Amino acid sequence: MAKIGTDIEFATEILNNSELVGIPTETVYGLAGNALNPKAVAEIFKVKDRPSFDPLILHTSSLERVPEFVHEIPSKAHELANHFWPGPLTMIFRKKEIIPYLVTSGLETIAVRIPNHPLTIKLLESIDFPLAAPSANPFGYVSPTNAEHVNEQLGEKIKYVLDGGDCHVGIESTIVEFENDEINVLRLGGCTVEDIEKIAGKVRLRQISSSNPVAPGMMSSHYSPFTPIIIGDIDEIITRNSDLKIGVLAFKNEFQNINKDHMFVLSEKGDLNEAATRLFTGLRYLDTLNLQLIVSEYVPDIGLGRAINDRLKRAEAKRN
Ligand code: TXA
Ligand code: MG
C-alpha cells in the first residue's frame, strides 16, 4: 500500500524522480506526475490503465505561469481565470512545444487548471514543472474524494498519497474551450454554468459522443460503480425489481422497504453542494455491499445539480 501523509518534501522528491503521487484537490484526488517528462506521463496512463487517446489536465500554481505552457490566452479566459482560479474550472488553450504530445494525446491543445487546495498549491510551488493529473481512479471507475479511496485502488502502484482530507467540491472540474469569442462547455463540473454565464455571457453545451476523440472524458459511460445502476423513479424501480438485492442512492428522502444500511442519502436538507461532495462516496459505499442493483434519482437540474445528473447518467450508461 502507499504511504499516506502530508509530507510535501517527500512528495516533491518522488515527483523529481519521475514517479507519481496522489494529490488532493478541491474537486477529486489526482494521480500526479511531471507533465514535462514523458516517462512520468507514460506511467500515469499505465497506473490508471487509461487509453492513450484520453488527454490529461495540466495543473499549475498561478496564472502567471500559464504562458510558459500555452500560446495566447483569450480575454474571456482571463476573465474566467480572475474569477474562478484557483478553482474547479479547466480551460483549453493551444499548447506550446514544451508540452509533450503524450499529455494531450496528440492534440494541439492542452487543458489547464489551478486547483484550489493549499497542500497541492504548496507542492506545485515547490517543484519547477507543472503536474499532469487525471483523477486518481482506475479508468472508467468513480473518482476518489479522499486519500483512502486512492489507496484502495492505486495503493499497490504508487508510493505516496498526499492527504488533504475530503474534497470540498467532490465532483470534477468544469472543462471549457474558446472558439472565436464563444465559450463551449465540454464537461459539466464543479464550476456551475450559471456562474460562468454571469461572468462571460451565454455558453454553449457541446455534446460530445464517445466517437469524438476531442474529449474522451465525456464518453457516455464513465464514473461507474461495478454494480449496475438505474436512475429514475426510485419507488417504481424498486417495485419492478423486488426480487433483487437493492441499494438506494437518494437525493434527500429515505425510502421505505429498503434496509437502512443499503441506503445512502446525498443531502437530507436537499443542498446540491452537499450532494456533490457525497456523490462518489455514496456510489463507492453502495458498490462495496455486493448488491445486485443500485437505484438512484436525478436531482434538480440547476447549479451543481447539472454536473451530478451528468455523472449519474454516465454511471448508468456503462452497465445497461
Ligand atoms: O477536477 C478535475 O479536473 C480532476 C482533478 C484531479 O484536477 N481531474 C480530472 O482529470 O478529472 P481526468 O483525466 O479524469 O479528466 C480530464 C478530461 C479528459 O478526460 C478529457 O476529456 C479532457 O479532460 N481533456 C483533457 N485535455 C483536453 C483537450 N486538449 N481538449 C479537450 N478535452 C480535454
Ligand atoms: Mg477521470
Look up the CATH number of domain 229-316.
Answer: 3.40.50.11030
Q: Which residue has the cell 488553450?
A: 93
Looking at the DSSP bridge assignments, the partners of residue 90 are 175
317 — pLDDT class (breaks 50, 70, 90): confident
Q: Is 25 in the pocket of ligand 1 (CB under 6 A)?
A: yes
Q: How far apart (Å, rounded) are the C-alpha atoms in residues 240 and 257?
A: 13
Q: Which atom of ligand 1 is nearest to the CA of 173?
A: 1
Q: How far apart (Å, rounded) are the C-alpha atoms in residues 85 and 93?
A: 15
Whether residue 209 is predicted with pLDDT greater than 60 in this model: the reply is no
* Nearest-ligand number for the alpha carbon of 187: 1
208 — pLDDT class (breaks 50, 70, 90): low
181 — pLDDT class (breaks 50, 70, 90): confident
Residue 187: strand, helix, or coil: strand
Q: Is 111 in the pocket of ligand 1 (CB under 6 A)?
A: yes
Q: Which atom of ligand 1 is nearest to the CA of 189?
A: 1
| Contacts (Cβ under 8 Å, ≥6 apart) of 46 | none
224 — pLDDT class (breaks 50, 70, 90): confident
Q: pLDDT value at position 214? A: 55
Q: pLDDT value at position 69? A: 98
Q: pLDDT value at position 172? A: 97
C-alpha R_g of the chain: 19
Give the residue-averaged pLDDT of 166-191: 96
| Contacts (Cβ under 8 Å, ≥6 apart) of 242 | none
How many Å lie between the centroid of ligand 1 and the Cα of residue 251? 27
Q: How far apart (Å, rounded) are the C-alpha atoms in residues 46 and 84?
A: 32
Looking at the DSSP bridge assignments, the partners of residue 294 are 229, 247
Structurally, at CATH architecture level, domain 3-205 sits in Alpha-Beta Complex (3.90)
Give the residue-averaged pLDDT of 140-150: 96
Q: pLDDT value at position 77? A: 98
Whether residue 210 is predicted with pLDDT greater than 70 in this model: the reply is no
pTM listed for this prediction? 0.95
Judge contact between 185 and 89, C-beta under 8 A: no
Whether residue 165 is predicted with pLDDT greater than 90 in this model: the reply is yes
Judge contact between 305 and 299, C-beta under 8 A: yes
Whether residue 104 is predicted with pLDDT greater than 80 in this model: the reply is yes
Q: pLDDT value at position 219? A: 63
Give the residue-averaged pLDDT of 229-256: 95
Cα separation values, 36 from 32, 101, 184, Å = 12, 10, 27
- Edge to edge, the sheet with strand 293-296 lists 229-231, 293-296, 246-250, 263-265
320 — pLDDT class (breaks 50, 70, 90): very low
Q: Is 91 in the pocket of ligand 1 (CB under 6 A)?
A: no
Residue from 21, 53, 57 whose mutation best tests the ligand 1 pocket (most atoms within 8 A of CB): 57
* Cα torsion 69, 119, 133, 197: sign: negative
Residue from 93, 143, 172 whose mutation best tests the ligand 1 pocket (most atoms within 8 A of CB): 172
- Among protein residues, the one with the nearest Cα to ligand 1's atom 12 is 134
Give the residue-averaged pLDDT of 277-300: 97
Boundaries of every domain in the chain: 3-205, 229-316
The pLDDT tens digits for 29-43 are 999 999 999 999 999
Q: pLDDT value at position 218? A: 59
Q: Helices 118-125 and 8-16, interaxial angle, to 10°?
A: 50
| Contacts (Cβ under 8 Å, ≥6 apart) of 205 | 184, 185, 188, 193
CA 6 to chain centre: 22
220 — pLDDT class (breaks 50, 70, 90): low
Q: Is 56 in the pocket of ligand 1 (CB under 6 A)?
A: yes
* Nearest-ligand number for the alpha carbon of 215: 1
